[in-house]
Structure 1
Amino acid sequence: MRLLAISDLHLASPVNRDALAALPDFPDDWLIVAGDIAEQPSRVAAAFTALTRRFAKVIWTPGNHDLWTVPGMAWRGPRKYEALVDLAREHGVVTPEDPFPVWPGPGGEVVIAPLFLLYDYTFRPPHLPLARVVEWAREERAMCGDEFMLAPTPYASRIAWCHARCATAADRLAGLEGAPTIIVNHYPLRHDLVRIPRAPRFSPWCGTVLTEDWHRRFNVKVAVSGHIHLRRTDWRDGTRFEEVSLGYPRQWRQERGLQAYLRQIWPTPEPPPAAGFGPR
């Protein structure tokens, strides 16, 4: 019995959809899906159907692509999130709005906390004013589709939405009273984990400094994230940080199959993974 993880399935791609269809069964294992399944709810539903048939339990948190309002869609921002939570629950998938499940298998008891935290543009150079963030990113051709397709209404901004989500999540984590925890969030918890050589100025859309110390503050054993599309393992203060993206077809090797990109989160693999561990 293992806790596995993957993110950024991006099922708008036929290649990725075929890979999901070919995924074998893992009837004893639990699976974390850390966001960016697809923009269309119908494809998210199809993924939930496929994954819940293959795994004993599925735990999900949304990515920004899941929340985009694409042409022909009425749902916007928080309303789409609520609809996806309802959809997940119909399939028996654990969401950030549900009680945190407790891992009952090998490696020791640990609470699995799927979170939805967003970002607030604080992953930027300290001298750069907030008002210049988008302009600064565009200078090197970096831009996030969220600026056009992720509406925060009824929140005043995505920043306000992020801060509300972080406040609620921090309260829930504090209520665990130091229990060993695995945090799952689409975005990395720390700025120093955002290394994107192909688009270094994409970092403002990658998280918030509000979570920089959460791995120490909440006794986090492993922090799982995606979004960056660069699979790797990092360690900070004894906490393992796992980036578990699949990504677009050009970013993974189809001949290996989707199963090669399922990262073991718990129990800790032997030997413990080093930085950069995992299939490329």
Structure 2
Amino acid sequence: MRLLAISDLHLASAVNRDALATLPFCPQDWLILAGDIAERFDHLRLAFATAAARFGRVLWVPGNHELWSVPEDETTSQARRGQSRYLAQIELARQYGVLTPEDEYPLWDGPGGPCRIAPLFLLYDYSFRPDAVSRDGVVAWAAELRNVCADEMLLDPAPYSSREAWCEQRCRHTHDRLAALDPAIPTVLVNHFPLRDDLIHIPRAPRFTPWCGTKITADWHRRFNAKVVVSGHLHVRRTDWRDGTRFEEVSLGHPRQWNQDLGLAHYLREILPGPICD
């Protein structure tokens, strides 16, 4: 029995959709889908249906791509936006028994447990930027190296006034939920965006950091007794340790960023029981 994770399946790609069809049957295992699974509802439905049929339990958190205001299918000119889009995806996940940030945090009682698995939806607030760069100037600063995220055009925060305001609300709400947990039981925190800016290693896009998280969560791994923190978004698979907590970046990525000869199963990261700290 294992807790596995993967993110950034980017099912807009036919190559990645074909890979999804090879997902192994692991009915004793749980699978975390850590965001950027798909922009379109039909592709997200495909991911939920496929994963739910092959794993004992599936958990999902949204990435920024899920929140993009794109038509839901090729025949629809209108797109759900902002929070209404997110809530529609929650309802879709529940149709397949997939757990979301709006559900109770399940208890993992398998190897490496017990742990409370907490899917989170926190967004970002542009605070991952140099001190010398103001919030008003951050997009222009990123644009100097052509690192501006497509969210600036596609991620509508409605009904919130800004993505920062939505992020603040999500962080406040989630903090209160986590604080109510039994502190004696370790957690596995799952968020699409990294919780700390010192975990960001993207030399190909060094000024992409403002769209990568919030400094609000820098100490959450300590505050909420995290055994493991799972994230994606960066398309840089790696393991880091901070204060005895293991941080796993579990991205698959676009077809050019992974080896199709190895198959999708190769990229499923074992979260629990997982390795132990040296």
TM-score by length of 1: 0.95
What pairs with 1:23-42 in structure 2 (closer than 5 Å)?
A: 23-42=23-42
Match of 1:196 in 2: 202
Q: How far apart, in 2, do the equivalents of 1:175 and 1:29 lie?
A: 27
Superimposed CA distance per residue, residues 122-178 of structure 1 (whole angstroms, 9 cap, x where no aligned partner): 000011110000000000110111101110111010000000000001001100131
Match of 1:89 in 2: 94
Structure 1 stretches of 4+ moved >2 Å: 71-74
Unaligned runs of 5+ in 1: 275-280
Deviation at 1:107, TM superposition (A): 1.6
Deviation at 1:273, TM superposition (A): 7.3
Match of 1:153 among 155, 158, 170: 158
Match of 1:2 in 2: 2
Q: How many residues align?
A: 272
Q: How far apart, in 2, do the equivalents of 1:117 and 1:101 lie?
A: 19
Tell me if 1:228 matches 2:234.
Answer: yes
Match of 1:163 in 2: 168
Deviation at 1:73, TM superposition (A): 3.5
Q: How far apart, in 1, do the equivalents of 2:172 and 2:180 lie?
A: 13
Deviation at 1:104, TM superposition (A): 1.9
- Contact 1:187/1:206, CA 8 A, preserved across alignment: yes
Q: How far apart, in 2, do the equivalents of 1:145 and 1:82 lie?
A: 21
Match of 1:175 in 2: 180
CA RMSD of aligned residues (A): 1.0
- Contact 1:96/1:116, CA 8 A, preserved across alignment: yes
Match of 2:144 among 139, 158, 163: 139
Q: How far apart, in 2, do the equivalents of 1:217 and 1:142 lie?
A: 32
Match of 1:111 in 2: 116
2:236 is paired with a residue whose SS is: coil
1:130 is paired with a residue whose SS is: coil
2:66 is paired with a residue whose SS is: helix
Deviation at 1:257, TM superposition (A): 0.3
Unaligned runs of 5+ in 2: 72-76
Q: How far apart, in 1, do the equivalents of 2:261 and 2:54 lie?
A: 20
Deviation at 1:19, TM superposition (A): 0.5
- Contact 1:233/1:273, CA 8 A, preserved across alignment: no
Q: How far apart, in 1, do the equivalents of 2:34 and 2:78 lie?
A: 23
The residue identity in structure 1 corresponding to 2:199 is L
Tell me if 1:246 matches 2:252.
Answer: yes
- Contact 2:70/2:80, CA 8 A, preserved across alignment: no
Q: How far apart, in 2, do the equivalents of 1:88 and 1:243 lie?
A: 23
2:178 is paired with a residue whose SS is: helix
- Contact 2:244/2:277, CA 8 A, preserved across alignment: no
Q: How far apart, in 1, do the equivalents of 2:230 and 2:163 lie?
A: 22
- Contact 2:123/2:213, CA 8 A, preserved across alignment: yes
TM-score by length of 2: 0.96
Superimposed CA distance per residue, residues 58-115 of structure 1 (whole angstroms, 9 cap, x where no aligned partner): 0000000011011523200111000000000011000000000000211221000000
Tell me if 1:129 matches 2:130.
Answer: no
The residue identity in structure 2 corresponding to 1:107 is G
- Contact 1:37/1:66, CA 8 A, preserved across alignment: yes
Match of 1:278 in 2: none
Q: How far apart, in 2, do the equivalents of 1:218 and 1:254 lie?
A: 37
Identical amino acids, percent of aligned pairs: 63
> More deviation in 99-108 or 226-235?
99-108
